[in-house]
C-alpha cells in the first residue's frame, strides 16, 4: 500500500496522545556520541511536530514504552540478525510487538554513518524512517515517503502522506498554544518547540546567549506591565557544559536585545544573566551549583527584574536583581541555547505567566483578633485568628484576587505556625466575604493532616474529606469547572493526588485566595504561601 500502519499505536487506538521516552544505548564509533544522539532526538521530535507524541529522556535502556536505540553488528542479540543489505530495523509499538523490544531501533554498524556527509548514510534520514516504524507506520510504496523501504539519500521531513498516516494513529498537534510563538534568534540555531497546557519541549542549537548578540530558541508570549514568569525545568539534555535553558524576559527578538535570563546550565550551575541595554555587554551573577530539575522564576516590577531559583519542594532563593529598562510590553517565556552546533533538548513543566497580583485581604466573620496579609517576592504571608472555617459560619483571614468563570488556584503552604491542632491554612474559592458563604478550601492543618472542606450552600453545614497525613510545606490546589470544584495535594507541585470533587453552585465571579484560621479567637496563626498561581 502507499501508506499503511501496523497495530493501533502506543495509545491503543482512537488517535489520542501518548508519552514515550528514548535512550541511546550503544553509539557508533563513526561520529561523536552527542552528535548522533542529537540527530536521533531530532528525528523523534520531527514526528512529534505533527501528532501529540511527547518525548522525554529515559533513565536507562529498555524502559517500558521507550525507544532504545543502538548500533550493533549483524547478529546483535534480538533474534533478527541484519541481512547484508539492511541499514537498520525497528520494532512496532506494543502491541503487536512486545517489551522490551517494542519501539526499539537498531542500526547496522557494518555501514559507515555520518551527518550530511557524502559517501556515508545519514543518521537523521534513517532514524526518521525507523522512528516511523517505532510509532506504528508500515513501509510505503510511494518513493516520496520517508517510509519507502529503500534508502534514497538525505531527507528533511515526512511527506504529506506520511503526516496524514501518522495522524490516523495519534491526535494531531498544534505545535504551541494560542498566543505563543517559537522564534530562532540569531543565525544557525535550528531545532523547534512543542507545547500543550503547561508543558513545553524545546530543541535548539545556538552558540550562546552572551556578549552583545545572542543565538537561541525563544518560545514566548507578550506580558504587559509588571508580572511573574515561573516554570520547572524538568530535564536538560546538554551537549556542552555551558548549554543554557531557562526563563527570559526580552524587549524584542533582535539578537542584541536587552533581556533578563535565569538559567540552568549543562555543567556550570545556575545563573542570572542579562543585557541591561540593547547592544550592550552581558552581565553574570552566579546562582551556585545545580542541575535540572529546578524551579525558576523572573519577577518584573517596573524596571527592576529579580531572578529566583528553588529546588523541588524548597523555598525560593533570590539570585540577584538588576535595573533593565524596557517598554511596557515585553516578551516572556522559555529560552534554550546549546553553546555548540549540536542540538540541546529541554523539557519544561508548570509554565505560568501572570500579571502582578493585587491581593486584597480582610477578616471574615468574628475572628476576635485582627489578621493581616503581606505580599512580597518571597510569597504571601497571611496571619489569621478565628474559631474555625467550619459549621454554618466561618472566622478567618482571607487574601484574595477575583476569578471569573473556570480556573484554578495553586500554592505551596511553605510554613504554618499553628497554635491548635486544627489551625488551618490553604487555598480557597469563595463566593463572598459573608461568614456563611459557599466555598471550598484545600488545607493543611497544624497536626490533623490535610483536608478538602467545603460548604455547598449559603448558611449550610460544612463537609469534610480527609486528604491524609502531612504538614507544611505541602502543595495544595483547587480547580473550578462549571459548578464542580476539585481538590488536589502534592509533595512537589508536579505529581498531584486527587482528593475529591464537590458540586458547589456559585456566581460566575468569585474570590480565589489564601485562608488562615488559628482555630481560636484569642491568637493568630501565620502561614507563608509561595509558588502562588491563580489562573
**Three-state secondary structure call for residue 118:** coil
Q: Interior CA angle at 400 toward 398 and 405, to 5°?
A: 130
130 given a catalytic annotation: yes
27: nearest Cα among 62, 70, 61, 66: 70
Whether the CB-CB separation of 365 and 396 falls below 8 Å is answered with yes
Per DSSP, which regions of 77-128 are E strands?
A: 88-90, 105-108, 113-114, 121-122
**Residue whose entry in the numeric block shows the C-alpha cell 541484519:** 82
Q: Cell numbers at residue 154, please? A: 538525505
User: 297 to each of 190, 321, 435, how far by Cα in Å?
Assistant: 26, 12, 36
Per the residue annotation, which of 130, 469, 484, 495 is the catalytic one? 130
Whether the CB-CB separation of 19 and 9 falls below 8 Å is answered with no
CB atoms under 10 Å from CB of 438, counted, come to 22
**Residue whose entry in the numeric block shows the C-alpha cell 480547580:** 479
Task: Name every residue whose Cβ is closer than 8 Å to that of residue 198 and which is 6 or more positions away in sequence.
Answer: 349, 350, 351, 352
On the 0-12 / 13-18 / 19+ scale of CB atoms within 10 A, 65 is middle
In whole angstroms, give the CA distance from residue 151 to residue 5.
Answer: 20
**Three-state secondary structure call for residue 464:** strand
Task: Name every residue whose Cβ is closer than 8 Å to that of residue 178 and which is 6 or more positions away in sequence.
Answer: none
User: Where in the sequence numbering do the catalytic residues fall?
Assistant: 130
Amino acid at each position: 500500500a502507499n501508506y499503511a500502519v501496523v497495530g493501533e499505536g502506543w495509545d491503543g487506538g482512537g488517535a489520542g496522545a501518548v508519552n514515550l521516552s528514548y535512550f541511546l544505548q550503544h553509539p557508533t564509533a563513526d561520529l561523536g556520541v552527542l552528535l548522533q544522539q542529537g540527530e536521533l532526538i531530532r528525528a523523534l521530535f520531527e514526528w512529534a511536530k505533527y501528532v501529540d507524541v511527547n518525548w522525554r529522556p529515559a533513565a536507562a535502556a529498555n524502559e517500558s514504552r521507550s525507544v532504545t536505540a543502538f548500533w550493533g553488528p549483524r547478529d546483535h542479540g534480538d533474534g533478527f540478525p541484519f541481512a547484508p543489505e539492511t541499514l537498520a530495523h525497528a520494532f512496532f509499538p506494543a502491541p503487536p510487538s512486545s517489551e522490551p523490544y517494542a519501539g526499539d531501533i537498531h542500526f547496522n554498524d557494518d555501514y559507515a554513518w555520518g551527518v550530511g556527509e557524502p559517501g556515508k548514510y545519514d543518521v537523521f534520514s534513517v532514524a526518521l524512517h525507523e522512528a516511523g516504524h517505532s510509532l506504528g507506520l508500515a513501509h510505503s510504496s510511494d518513493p516520496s515517503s520517508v517510509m519507502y523501504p529503500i534508502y534514497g539519500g538525505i531527507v528533511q521531513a515526512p511527506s504529506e502522506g506520511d503526516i496524514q498516516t501518522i495522524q490516523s494513529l495519534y491526535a494531531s498537534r498544534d505545535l504551541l498554544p494560542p498566543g505563543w510563538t517559537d522564534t530562532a534568534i540569531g543565525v544557525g540555531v535550528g531545532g523547534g518547540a512543542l507545547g500543550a497546557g503547561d508543558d513545553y519541549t524545546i530543541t535548539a542549537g545556538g552558540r550562546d546567549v552572551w556578549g552583545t548578540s545572542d543565538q537561541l530558541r525563544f518560545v514566548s508570549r507578550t506580558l504587559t506591565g509588571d508580572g511573574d514568569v515561573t516554570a520547572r525545568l524538568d530535564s536538560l539534555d546538554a551537549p556542552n557544559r555551558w548549554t543554557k535553558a531557562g526563563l527570559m524576559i526580552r524587549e524584542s527578538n533582535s539578537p542584541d536585545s536587552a533581556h533578563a535570563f535565569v538559567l540552568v546550565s549543562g555543567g556550570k550551575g545556575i545563573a542570572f544573566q542579562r543585557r541591561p541595554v540593547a547592544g550592550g555587554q552581558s552581565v553574570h551573577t552566579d546562582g551556585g551549583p545545580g542541575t535540572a530539575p529546578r524551579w525558576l522564576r523572573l519577577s518584573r516590577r517596573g524596571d527592576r527584574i529579580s531572578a529566583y531559583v528553588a529546588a523541588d519542594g524548597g523555598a525560593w532563593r533570590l539570585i540577584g536583581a538588576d535595573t533593565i529598562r524596557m517598554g511596557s510590553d515585553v516578551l516572556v517565556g522559555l529560552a534554550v541555547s546549546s553553546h555548540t552546533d549540536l542540538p540541546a533538548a529541554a523539557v519544561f513543566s508548570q509554565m505560568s505567566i501572570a500579571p502582578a497580583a493585587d491581593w486584597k485581604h480582610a477578616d471574615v466573620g468574628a475572628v476576635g483578633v485582627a489578621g493581616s496579609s503581606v505580599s512580597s517576592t518571597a510569597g504571601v504571608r497571611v496571619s489569621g485568628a478565628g474559631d474555625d472555617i467550619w459549621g454554618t459560619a466561618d472566622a478567618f483571614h482571607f487574601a484574595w484576587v477575583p476569578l471569573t468563570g473556570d480556573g484554578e488556584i495553586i500554592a505551596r503552604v511553605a510554613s504554618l505556625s499553628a497554635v491548635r491542632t486544627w489551625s488551618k491554612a490553604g487555598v480557597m474559592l469563595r463566593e463572598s466575604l459573608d461568614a456563611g458563604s459557599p466555598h471550598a478550601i484545600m488545607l493543611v492543618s497544624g497536626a490533623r493532616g490535610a483536608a478538602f472542606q467545603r460548604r455547598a450552600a449559603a448558611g449550610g453545614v460544612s463537609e469534610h474529606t480527609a486528604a491524609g497525613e502531612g504538614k507544611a510545606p505541602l502543595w495544595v490546589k483547587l480547580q473550578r469547572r462549571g459548578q464542580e470544584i476539585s481538590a488536589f495535594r502534592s509533595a512537589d507541585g508536579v505529581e498531584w493526588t486527587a482528593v475529591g470533587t464537590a458540586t458547589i453552585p456559585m456566581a460566575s465571579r468569585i474570590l480565589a485566595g489564601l485562608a488562615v484560621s488559628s482555630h481560636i479567637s484569642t491568637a493568630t496563626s501565620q502561614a507563608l504561601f509561595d509558588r502562588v498561581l491563580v489562573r
